[in-house]
Chain A
Amino acid sequence: MVGSASASPRGEDTFPKILMQNAKVFGSRTAVREKDYGIWQSRTWSEVCEEIRAFSIGLKSLGLSAGDKVAIVGANRPRLYWAMVACQALGAVPVPVYSDSVAEEMAYVLGHAEVKFAVVEDQEQVDKLLSMSDEVPSLTDVIYDEPRGLRDYDHTHLHDYAGLQDKGRDLLAKDASLSDKWEEGFAGGKGSDIAVMLYTSGTTGRPKGVMLSFDNLVISARNGNAFDHLNETEEVLAYLPMAWIGDHVFSLAQAFTAGYCVNCPESMDTIDTDRLEIAPTYFFAPPRVFENMLTQIMVRMEDAGKTKRAIFDYFMGVARAVGEKILNGEQVSMKDRLLYRLGDFCVYGPLKNRMGLTRMKVGYTAGEAIGPEIFQFYRSLGLNLKQLYGQTEASVYITLQPDGEIFGDTVGKPAPDVELKIEENGEVMYRSPGVFVGYFKNDEATAKTKTPDGWVHTGDAGIIADNGHLKIIDRAKDVGKLNSGSLFAPKYIENKLKFFPNIKEVVAFGHERDMAAVFINIDLTAVGSWAERNNVNYASYQELAANPDVYAMIESHVDQVNRDLSQEPMMAGAQIKRFLILHKELDADDGELTRTQKVRRSFIAERYAPLIDALYDGSTSKHVRTEVTFEDGRKGAIEATVEIRDMNAYDAGKGIQEAAE
């Protein structure tokens, strides 16, 4: 336990207690930074402690008491993180909610959680909560961080965050013993108390409220810190939804237990610049973020001059050949090492700097499988990017890739204190100190997911390889078979296609069908840039997607994937026989993606049933009409005639020869 030794040799078992300890030990170290008015504004641990105390006492004066639930809605703002600990200090349970979810979704979660208070970011969220007051009868008071536009609202049950803190400060000034009383209030808190309730985004059905105890979070966080030797000197960027377990653990639990600094970006649109300025040492991102960064680089390189492109291509070749080996500490010839150094100076260094990853000690990606090519790209640059496999129900960590044992197709070994086993049907199961207490008000679902002796069903199919690493194939229920009996792993095919910068999203079909076929979403940034360079006019996504040249381009990508698939004995049978480019982008507002941007397969299958039929009935085009939801909640419809193309399959193992012809 080297990494966290400096931060947590003590036995503090709840976040309020850890906060008091950090204020003592790290008093003058920066705990939080937020970019505001163009400047990074810092707060030390002792200042944070004061802020949280004032707010907590303010909340108490409003009548918040132990056991109450408090919704936290908004983007990553320090004040919202503080609010969570302020609630915990009173024994109340914070419930962070996805702030961009539509009113109906949010109303369900808040109603189900029976929240009493809500701490929200701004007017937009206040309006949203006001509109759902009938569905959430338990809600009595709303506290907002950003007062703009709210001046003329009725303030009997609406409070300004700063105002409430001032009230807390006044009370503290009047009564000297109040601060001690406040500390006594949580001194008796136990690690087994519920720390937070996180609603899972739910690929299927209604979201479920996962109850996590302080023990779950604190022990998992300390294990995570120790595993990667994280200490109080780390810098992280808090930019992922606060309602997501990953952010909760990385930006709160691990930050508190290790004592490191959390940086909140200025706005959701400035994350790239902010990351560049902060250069986090510990960085977490879902595969999509890494994909986007890579796409942007590739798009820009295509616009670069010939010389630059030649240098880039040459050194990327060097990196592909030896970069990972150097990172893993393997044997590499002197010449290659020197070349790699030179490449680092000319290409990799500047690239890492652009991405804000120069100081990255360790980076993780999880959430879904990352395309092996994308993963290798970052590792070959010398970035210690690793995969982990986790779940809300496990307080994130199930398996992690240890340094030096990175295999693109596995998600690593069991995290510290985690036991792993594979069920007979191939489903992965685990047991750990991070295993959740239960689903809130849903014992039936709890019983289905968690066995009485503490094992949890992940819902993922996987195998444990000879080297002890876990390999996830797909969602247990998604892996299927073609009618020919060949294995059909949709995500595997999708990820292969998604590596192409021109392709943003893919949905593959094939289970219990004669052949594999895919829907494709083009990437508007990449294809748009191509269109600009080639003088192709287009007014909308729909028009660009239907362009014959775009079709030809995508066809060549699909062909390439088929060639790759033909090389893999297990997958050769599932080559893509037909594809189409969807006439609209898949969107979370239309329910096609989850809030964490994962494809909702069954929903899409239902919504685009006519298109799927067309894929399999041999027709070459199909007219469709699709209802869409605009950002303001209005509905509309778009119509299009979608073209469907046939593809050639390669004989297993012969792809390379044909490619060479």
Chain B
Amino acid sequence: MNAFVTDKTLSPASGADAAEREELLRVDNVSLSFGGVKAITDISFDILKGEIRAIIGPNGAGKTSMLNVINGFYHPQEGTITWQGKARRKMKPYEAASNGIARTFQNVALFKGMTTLDNIMSGRSLKMHRNFFWQVLWRGPAENEEIEHRRKVEDIIDFLEIQAIRKTPVGRLPYGLQKRVELGRALAMEPDLLLLDEPMAGMNLEEKEDMSRFILDVNQEFGTTIALIEHDMGVVMDLSDRVVVLDYGKKIADGPPEEVQASQAVIDAYLGVSH
């Protein structure tokens, strides 16, 4: 054995000491229906500060609906949502955003005609404090503020290694890079909770590896709590600290990846048994 010890102790994020972590978000007995269609039925789970929480389930299980409930896009008919210790009233998505919840979308939702830089800058708009007047005038305080924001954005560009496409309109970028820009825009909000809706959908293996690395780095470097929906089980099992499994709008399992993987209910849901 040589003197260069090779153990790398990973961050203590796994289930073992989860109990010591503070609760960031808690969902209690939430139900959501659209007319007669029950999208979510009586679901409760929590997201702890600093963890990577995966929400998985077969198609139509209610995963995206769940994210939409968390960021205030849908309002559940029943149940409560507790955000940073406070039970939340009905909330608009932009209120969720200013409260520190950012998200990316299953289908890329960027401003196609704008450059990467401008798209990420748009993520800072909630943090711009100068009013319209100053923004129009631009000189002085507004300029300084913009420089400050640009500095943050450049940090993110550096972090996501997208320097080469800084000035490229995002509509011209390949899909994998657009996803990365979208992540950048969400990061620009410096969120407490980052919701990722299938961040790796449609990516090739290499892009997936890059994206996984970025998600882990975001979690470790910025300490951002992440809730993600993903279909690639390998990715989910490697990245997440805890996994919640939905099927037909109901929660069927919740726990560390190994435990969930072994659960009979989950296996049935994925392989399909008669309901």
Contacts and interface: CB of A to CB of B under 8 A. Distances in A.
B213 interface: yes
B220 A141 contact: no
Nearest to A129: B4
A36 interface: yes
Interface stretch (B6-14, B23-31, B137-145): B6-14
A156 interface: yes
Interface residues of B, number: 28
B217 A266 contact: no
B226 to A, nearest CB: 16
Interface residues of A, number: 29
Nearest to B13: A152
A469 to B, nearest CB: 40
A631 interface: yes
B206 interface: yes
Contacts of B155: 37
B164 A37 contact: no
A298 interface: no
Interface in B1-39: 2-11
Contact of A149 (B9, B209, B217): B217
B220 A151 contact: yes
A267 B3 contact: no
A350 interface: no
A631 B4 CA distance: 27
B4 A149 contact: no
A137 B4 CA distance: 8
Interface in A28-51: 36-39
Contact of B157 (A38, A130, A140, A148): A38
B159 interface: yes
Contacts of A134: 2
Contact of B4 (A38, A133, A266): A133
Interface in A263-313: 266-267, 269-270, 273
B160 to A, nearest CB: 11
B154 interface: yes
B159 A148 contact: yes
A132 to B, nearest CB: 10
Interface residues of chain A: helix, strand, loop or mixed (majority): loop
Nearest to A147: B221
Interface residues of chain B: helix, strand, loop or mixed (majority): helix
A113 interface: no
Contacts of A149: 213, 216-217, 220-221
B109 interface: no
Interface string A618-649: 00000000000011100000000000000000
A467 B215 CA distance: 63
A148 B221 contact: yes
Nearest to B7: A154
Task: Pick from A38, A267, A632 the residue with the most CB of B within 10 Å.
Answer: A38
A654 interface: no
Nearest to A150: B8
B210 to A, nearest CB: 11
Interface in A99-157: 130, 133-134, 136-137, 139-142, 148-149, 151-154, 156-157
B163 A141 contact: no
Contacts of B161: 267
Contact of B158 (A36, A140, A154, A632): A36
A157 B205 contact: no
Contacts of B221: 148-149, 151
Contacts of A151: 11, 220-221
Given A37-B157, A37-B158, A38-B157, 11 more contacts: A36-B158, A37-B151, A140-B2, A141-B4, A142-B4, A157-B3, A267-B161, A270-B164, A630-B205, A631-B206, A632-B205
Interface of B: 2-11, 151, 154-155, 157-159, 161, 163-164, 166, 205-206, 209, 213, 216-217, 220-221
25 contacts: A36-B158, A37-B151, A37-B157, A37-B158, A38-B154, A130-B6, A133-B2, A133-B4, A136-B2, A139-B2, A148-B217, A148-B221, A149-B217, A149-B221, A152-B8, A153-B8, A154-B6, A154-B8, A154-B9, A156-B5, A157-B4, A157-B5, A267-B163, A269-B164, A273-B164
